[in-house]
Chain A
Amino acid sequence: AQSVAQPEDQVNVAEGNPLTVKCTYSVSGNPYLFWYVQYPNRGLQFLLKYITGDNLVKGSYGFEAEFNKSQTSFHLKKPSALVSDSALYFCAVSPSGYSTLTFGKGTMLLVSP
């Protein structure tokens, strides 16, 4: 069975600084990895995915994620944080393009002005 770990409940960063939200995973075979964002009182929104190819994938709102197979990690990054990036971020994994998702517990990102 697959699993996802998001080791930080909360990440605090100042506006303009780079941000990283960490994610590690466990899955049989090649992973399909995803990041979602949830703004307050809203549903989740898909940000980006990794299936194969380049280890650095780009997504919506200037976010990118780095896949590292040896460390089984898929960290979310952004070069310059905005206050409006403050939200709950979920990492998710699937063993294939046809399977259901397993989500991590989520990491709250707080960007201060």
Chain B
Amino acid sequence: NAGVTQTPKFRVLKTGQSMTLLCAQDMNHEYMYWYRQDPGMGLRLIHYSVGEGTTAKGEVPDGYNVSRLKKQNFLLGLESAAPSQTSVYFCASFTYGGRVAGEQFFGPGTRLTVL
């Protein structure tokens, strides 16, 4: 069981470039989340998904798009990167079965720098 994996681990972009971050989980979880972590601001929810084919906006969705075509994968896209999107991005997943929605499993993170 690999748990939650994220690809890539590091990336440097120039302003205006696009990229996609991949999150994969092998735990058959229904719920998946994308967060960004910035110093002094904690984690903020970007988008989330409650199942294959569904997505919903979180607290800070502007500038990002997501897709959940397969249950195990949740993609986060930046169409035109901006320096304000420099951050560490975390993916998380969750399923019920004795748990509540706050008990999430996190990936190792992707450190993105936009120049």
Complex Cα gap A101–B105 (Å): 13
Alpha-carbon distance between A21 and B83 when the two chains are bound, in angstroms: 33
Beta-carbon contact of B107 and A43 below 8 Å? yes
Whether A105 contacts B101 in the complex (CB less than 8 A), given A43-B90, A44-B106, comes out as no
* Distance in angstroms between the alpha carbons of A51 and B102 in the assembled complex: 10
Among candidates A32, A44, A51, A96, residue contacting B90 with C-beta atoms closer than 8 Å:
A44
Partner of B42, one of A90, A96, A98, A100: A90
Q: In residues 31-71 of chain A, which contact B (Cβ within 8 Å)?
A: 32, 34, 41-46, 49, 51
How many residues of chain B have a CB within 8 Å of chain A? 23
Taking the complex as formed, is B63 at the interface, i.e. its CB lies under 8 A from any CB of chain A?
no
> With the chains together, A103 CA to B40 CA distance in Å?
11
Question: For the complex, what is the distance from the CA of A105 to the CA of B52, rounded to whole Å?
Answer: 31
Q: Are B108 and A46 neighbours in the complex by a CB distance under 8 Å?
A: no
The CA-CA distance from A97 to B44 in the complex, in Å, is 19
| Beta-carbon nearest neighbor of B44 in chain A | A103
B residues 40-95 in Cβ contact with A at 8 Å = 40-45, 48, 58-59, 90, 92
CB pair B106 A98 closer than 8 Å: no
Chain B nearest Cβ from A106, distance in angstroms = 5
Contact among A46, A90, A96, A100 with B33 in the assembled complex (CB-CB below 8 Å): A100
Knowing A44-B90, A106-B42 are in contact, say whether A101-B108 is a contact too (CB < 8 A): no
B58 contact from A49, A90, A96, A100, Cβ within 8 A: A100
**Across the interface, do B102 and A34 meet the contact criterion of CB distance under 8 Å?**
yes
Query: B102 and A49: CB pair below 8 A?
Result: yes
Q: Point out residues on A near B: beta carbons under 8 Å.
A: 4, 9, 32, 34, 41-46, 49, 51, 90, 92, 94, 96-106
Show 8 A/B contacts (Cβ-Cβ < 8 Å), sorted by A. Answer: A9-B40, A41-B109, A42-B109, A43-B106, A44-B92, A46-B105, A49-B102, A99-B101
